[in-house]
Amino acid sequence: MESSSSSNSMIWFRKGLRIHDNPALELAQKGSKHLFPVFVLDPYYIDPDSLASSPGSSRAGINRIQFLLESLVDLDCGLRRLESRLLVLKGEPVQVIARLLKDWNIGKLCFEFDTEPYAQTRDNKVKDIASASGIEVFSPISHTLFDPAEVIRKNGGKAPLTYQSFVAIAGKPSAPLWSIYSKLPPIGDIAGYEILGVPSIQDLGYKDVEQEFSPFRGGETEALKRLKENLVNKKWVAEFEKPKGDPSEFIKPATTVLSPYLKFGCLSSRYFFQCVDDAYKTVKKHTQPPVSLAGQLLWRDFFYTVAFGTPNFDRMHGNKICKQIPWRDDEKLFVAWRDAQTGYPWIDAIMIQLKKWGWMHHLARHSVACFLTRGDLFIHWEKGRDVFERLLIDSDWAINNGNWLWLSCSSFFYQYHRIYSPISFGKKYDPTGNFIRHFLPVLKDMPKEYIYEPWTAPLSIQSQANCIIGKDYPKPVVPHDLASKECKRQIGAAYALNLSGESPDAEEKLNSLRRKLEEDDHDALQNLKQKKRMPK
């Protein structure tokens, strides 16, 4: 006779906030008398942090928390259409799930596999607790196109470190599940638990939120609608080329803006890939990976695989694929960058967009990341990574770290002499400065000739524009031409040392190089002062 527990299943949602192509849901509902769909609000991510530099928790800005809540409301609506609902609880997830497994007499636990270190630790604890109680655990891979562990195994136990080798090893993704449910098994006895609805941002303790939220709404419904709208234009899909696109477009961004939906799993990457593949079949020719639309999904999996197979992927020290570089520790310069006070309007406008929207175009991300690290300020990529990780609605551990390693020339890409100008790069796309005027209204009346370099405007022009540089808007924190030369010199010196993150004496050699570079800077400054004193 079947025990009551074996007919009680739980699907534990974390990412994968969708009903389409969801293997964990498919496994959970199969043969189950009762199905408990659960989401646990983790204080680690959602509790307000009064010390944070902008509204939100220590790990997530308010835009991402709002996007998550919208995604949960939409998931709950989807489950209700199937005569079920989302059971939302709050607390330390391992403790909450352990209690529910016991109290709800669960026989089968299903959740999507997660590659992030925090998730791995959490999930392994839950698996151990469940297995010790004789509960079946299923953790299928569906957040990515491929199983990262399998790709690493095929590559002889190492993560492939180039996109081309990854694509050759990974092959073609498996097809999505096409299951369509008319109804799900009912929820069983919740044993006296009080289950509230999805909370609002105010319910979580964010009382004085007076900001415009990101224009991008969370949820599976919105994800599928946006996917459909993007794929309607077959010509656009066929001709999509990643390096192209205008980073200053903000009324209608020049990309799909599907990344936040992939991050939360409101959209299945396998379903997205399949839809793009189907669109390709209807056109005569289309762009190819790595620049094509399908190629972007493969990039995502590439970073997931490298991140999964590289210990300490999210830091410089102890990371075998990361160049060891003596980054400068200058809190004043870092805060100027973070708070959009660098004096470079293109950079500051992008950082305002990040804070307000939780999103910016990938080339805008390139601009500000290059400026902070190897382009101008020579500040550690980990500091910039933390800001992006907190504020982006599509912040994704593997991709965010991978991109910062790339853009700081610490890994993957090493042409450090190729620098994004904080002046000419934006001007190329938006010569009149509409993007800057929108996000930096203090400069809205500055003539277009000076909008990218307002410090060069004569004082009379600054007065007419109601923006005095140094008073209403800051002067540049560094002179770009000199700063970029200095950055190249310092990275060149670090490259010459060729230190791996695993070198036993890496830190000692790095400190020694840092001291030498500082001495050189001091000597150069003294020489400059001496020259100025010399008679003409």
Binding site residues, as ranges? 255-259, 296-303, 394-396
Nearest to 249 by CA among 87, 430, 109: 430
Instruction: Dump the DSSP string for 242-308.
Output: TT-S-TT--SS-SS---HHHHHTTSS-HHHHHHHHHHHHTTSS----TTTSHHHHHHHHHHHHHHHH
Cα separation, 520 vs 529, in Å, equals 14
Cα separation, 498 vs 25, in Å, equals 48
Check residue 79 and report its DSSP letter: H
Cα separation, 367 vs 422, in Å, equals 7
Tell me phi and psi for residue 136, to 5 degrees: -70, 135
Cα separation, 85 vs 329, in Å, equals 49
Tally of residues, the chain: 536
20 within 8 A of 266, measured Cβ to Cβ: no
Centroid of chain to Cα 431: 29
List the 87-90 sheet strands across, edge first: 87-90, 34-41, 8-13, 108-110, 136-138
Cα separation, 74 vs 20, in Å, equals 13
Q: Does the N-terminal peptide bond of residue 326 adopt cis geometry, omega within 30 degrees of 0?
A: no
Question: For residue 349, what are its two tokens?
Answer: 């406008």
Distances (CA, A) of 516 to 326, 358, 508: 11, 39, 13
- H or E segment and range at residue 150: helix 148-154
98 within 8 A of 129, measured Cβ to Cβ: yes
Query: Residue 422 contacts by C-beta under 8 Å, 6 or more apart in sequence?
Result: 342, 344, 346, 347, 367, 371, 375, 376, 480
Q: Which residues are known binding-site members for FAD?
A: 255-259, 296-303, 394-396
474 within 8 A of 341, measured Cβ to Cβ: yes
Centroid of chain to Cα 455: 33
Cα separation, 431 vs 440, in Å, equals 16
- Side-chain-facing half-sphere of 129: CA atoms under 13 Å: 18
